[in-house]
Amino acid sequence: AEHANARTRSLGVAFDGCTLPGQDTPLFEVPEGRMGLGLGIHGEPGVSERELPSASELAKILVDGLLAEAPETGSRRVTAILNGLGATKYEELFVVWGTVARLLAEAGVEVVAPEVGELVTSLDMAGCSLTLTWLDDELERLWQAPADTPAYRKGTVELSEAEKIFHKMEECV
């Protein structure tokens, strides 16, 4: 975890704050036509504000910000996660992703098995984050490995004998 963390950079933007259950107002607000830059995934406001950009301008802000902070690994291979924060439409994410992928390729960065979607949300926050992890052989193997959890699935995970028996029992019920 420490190894992956040292090779990972993330930058997020918010177009509006999130509202906690039972509350009437969001934790923070972003003025109309602006965005918060550098927000926290737990509903913290951004560290600065700027004019609301186009999708391609947003992609450039995210990519430039992360590449400027790239760890000195020597690796030009990354995995990328473009994450919606809860109120951003998938179509919007994929429009941003198209430009992100192009900009990374133009910078000589090869993207391995990217993920685009709502993977970690902050309830109803409008915005997104881009995360890059600079890969080595071990991190790439782990990133490509199958996963089967309640919130995230990737590939096919081989079931243990006990799990196979359990699933057969469920089918009988």
Q: Which residues are catalytic?
A: 42
Measured in degrees and rounded to the nearest 5, phi and psi for residue 153 equal: -130, 140
What is the number of alpha carbons within 13 Å of residue 40 lying toward its C-beta?
A: 7
Alpha helix segments (H runs only) across the chain: 2-6, 55-68, 90-106, 137-144, 161-172
CB-CB contact of 93 with 84 (8 Å): yes
Closest by CA position to 5, among listed 60, 67, 59, 71: 71
> In whole angstroms, what separates CA 83 from the centre of its chain?
3
